[in-house]
Amino acid sequence: MIYEEPKYLPGGDRYMLIEFGDEMNLELNFMGQSLAQAVEENGVEGVIETAPCFASTLIHYEPEEIKFSDLKSEMRSLIETLGPSEDIELDSRLFYFPAVYLDPWTKEAIEDYCAKITEKEWDPEFIARLNGLDGVEQFVRVHSGTEYWVASLGFWPGLPFMMALDPRCMLTAPKYNPPRTWTPEGTVGMGGASTCIYPVATPGGYQIFGRTPVPIWDTQKRFPQFESSICLFKPGDRVKFVPCAIEEYEQVAAQVAEGSYQYNLVEYQRFSVKNYKTWVESLDTGARF
Amino acid sequence: MLEVIEPGLETSVQDWPGRLGYWNQGFPPSGPMDSWSFRLANVLVGNEPGAAGLEAQYIGPSLKFRRDGLIAVTGADMQAKLDGTAIPMWESVAVKADQTLQMAFAKTGARGYIAIAGGIATEPWLGSRSTFHKAGVGGMEGHALKKGQIVPVGEGHGQAGHKVAETARPTFPTDKRWEIEVVAGPNDDWIDEAGHKRFLGSDWKLSSKSDRTGFRLDGPDWTFTAKATDKAPEHGSEPSNIIDQGYPCGAINLAGQTPIILVNDGPSMGGFVNPYTVPRAAFWKLGQSKPGEIYRFKAVSVEQAQAMAHELRQVCSEASIAK
């Protein structure tokens, strides 16, 4: 649900987590993003940085400059000025990402986890079973059957937290217990109802089942998409995974290595929350592909 | 300029408070784990407390100076010698061109700090010189120092013989047990009363699977409130799973049943609950403890944690220097 009154939760001596609700939807994500934007535009004294995510905004502040209680009232008045998300329309880039589903690389990482940390079911089978799907083939169809909304960046530089825009493709899964100590670069994974791409080899807690050769961050700025930022994505982008074979993966990886890869994206679309909601209401959300 | 004769185990360029302003893209602050020792080393040599210096982990480096200068060594005792002669810690020491600073393993503590008058003058990256090893950015070519590298140094103006007052130095326990302050939250209401009591009343052993991204702790299992078990499926079904959220630096992140303290190079977001957060004034204790050592956690309020940070800021200043 979306809370009547957001929760203002302390994080040590210099953080405040503002939680707007306890579910995942576009409206909550817009509340988080809009507050972060309002903080930036208004230049609230004592605020160092913010980190909005699916249903919350983390505020990093300097208590020598603003007290927790004063920050709370400042944030409360900013939240009151935020308009309804219904009216939001924004430019939204759509990226097509080739991805090998059920790939050998993530399988190897899972086998290594099973050998060194604890036994677990192969992640795609596990997700398929938990979500009542026929098997891993249907899982691939469902997971790749929707556009994903980039709700925020975090965890690791450039990593996108994404949600399925088509409710018929929404899947859920628990996170690893305990987390993996390594994940291959470019891995596609999911935890809760969130899907991500791991920018580099890092530890991780999501279930993993695919790999893309397309870089999502680039400190060398070798591709024009990284001119203004070393992170490819920004909130409000969309991603569509295009299942591909290992041969195609390797072909793209070679193009990336030599710098000739061209990002496959469209930049002419505007995303309207109102139109999106109307579309969602017209669907039989119990259906699966 | 400095020449790296031996890099030590993991010696890196850091500044304080590090790389701020990029948490919403996933960039951590990095910076020294024990900013108390780090800041005082800088103050000793006449630098700003946050100027770029070196952090050495477990085993210190050997460095040859290319010109006359002024250094200070603080933090873990890595048995610093200048051309074979022991030099005092917590004191500014003049060095001559071609002299070599040699450091060995940490006898007490885990991280040693070396400040040099003028500060390390590598190219800042996103506003900071701090090294973020795992992503290969900042510092010297993105990583810990390597043998043969030449580290650039700025122009300094400090004086030799300045000392940090005994009372202004951090003291490391001799029994390998640390009391670490924590503030409840942001997700403390996911843990039941028994779980809170167990967390605050048990010994937690620092795991060897720890690094600058996170400190893993071994200890008893956690128990949860209904909030953790009766929730929307998009959280993920394990009790510690929550819809991905921003993480405070210092959060005690409950990944399944394993608590991981998210430290200077840690993740900015994720989908596990953070029942407690270590305030920044207690970070130096994390930085100076070694795997196998024991933590006991002590709950303090937000205001107490803020007062600790304020006090530490006073300590890390000229006021603590005897001339």
- C-alpha A200: how far from its chain's center? 15
Give the pLDDT score at A219: 84
Chain B environment of A52 (Cβ under 8 Å) = 24, 246
Q: Which residues 9-38 on chain A approach chain B with CB closer than 8 angstroms?
A: 9-15, 17, 19, 22-24, 36
Residue B153 scores a pLDDT above 90:
yes
Question: Is residue A289's pLDDT more than 90?
Answer: no
Among residues B123, B18, B4, B119, which one has the least CA distance to residue B61? B4
Asked if A219's CB is within 8 angstroms of B136's CB, the reply is yes
Mean of per-residue pLDDT scores for chain B: 97
For residue A192, give the nearest of B23, B213, B244 by CB distance.
Answer: B244
Is the pLDDT assigned to residue A287 strictly greater than 90? no
Sign of CA dihedral A206, A243, A229, A272: negative
Report the DSSP beta bridge partners of residue A49.
Answer: A60
Q: Name which of B190, B178, B5, B176 is nearest B101 in CA terms.
A: B5
Residue A287 belongs to a domain:
no
Together in a domain, B309 and B279: yes
pLDDT at res. A85: 85
B172 lies in a domain? no
Q: Give the DSSP per-residue string, A3-14.
A: EEEEEEEEETTT
A268/A183 same-domain check:
yes
Instruction: Please name the member of A49, A55, A63 whose beta carbon is closest to the beta carbon of B20.
Output: A49
**Same-domain status, A73 and A96:** no
In CATH, what number is assigned to the domain containing residue A223?
A: 2.40.100.10
This prediction has a pTM of 0.96
Q: How many residues does chain B have?
A: 323
Q: Tell me the CATH number at A55.
A: 3.30.1360.40
Q: Of the candidates A87, A109, A136, which is a domain's last residue?
A: A87
Q: Quick one: average pLDDT of B288-295?
A: 98
pLDDT tens digits for range A85-125: 888 999 999 999 999 999 999 999 999 999 999 999 999 99
Task: State how far the Cα of B133 lies from the Cα of A208, in Å rounded to an integer.
Answer: 25
Q: Is residue B168 part of a domain?
A: no
Contact status of A117 with chain B (Cβ, < 8 Å): no
A42 belongs to a structural domain: yes
Q: What is the mean pLDDT of residues B246-270?
A: 97
**Predicted pLDDT of residue A108:** 98
A71, A141: one domain:
no
Average pLDDT over residues B222-232: 97
Q: Which domain holds residue A198?
A: 91-281
Residue-wise pLDDT for B157-203, tens only, equals 899 999 999 999 999 999 999 999 999 999 999 999 999 999 999 99
Give the residue from B110, B129, B163 where a domain finishes.
Answer: B163
Q: Which range of residues forms the domain containing residue B146? A: 2-163
B6 plus B93 within the same structural domain? yes
As for how many domains chain A has, the answer is 2
Per-residue tokens: B162: 């300045």
Model confidence pLDDT, tens digit, residues B60-76: 999 999 999 999 999 99
Query: Which residue in chain A has the smallest CA separation from B235?
Result: A192
Residue B288 binned pLDDT confidence (cut-offs 50, 70, 90): very high
B158 and B30 in one domain? Answer: yes
Is the CB of residue B272 less than 8 Å from the CB of residue B242? yes
Domain match, B152 and B181 both: no
Exposed/middle/buried for residue B92 (C-beta within 10 Å: 0-12, 13-18, 19+): buried
A157 reaches B (C-beta below 8 A):
yes
**A81 and A100 belong to one structural domain:** no
0.95 surpassed by complex ipTM: yes
- Confidence band for A64, pLDDT divided at 50, 70 and 90: very high
Instruction: Please report which confidence band the pLDDT of residue B254 belongs to, taking 50, 70 and 90 as the band edges.
Output: very high
Q: How far is B287 from chain A (nearest CA, A)?
A: 17
- Would you state the structure tokens that stand for residue B21, as one six-digit string? 């302003």
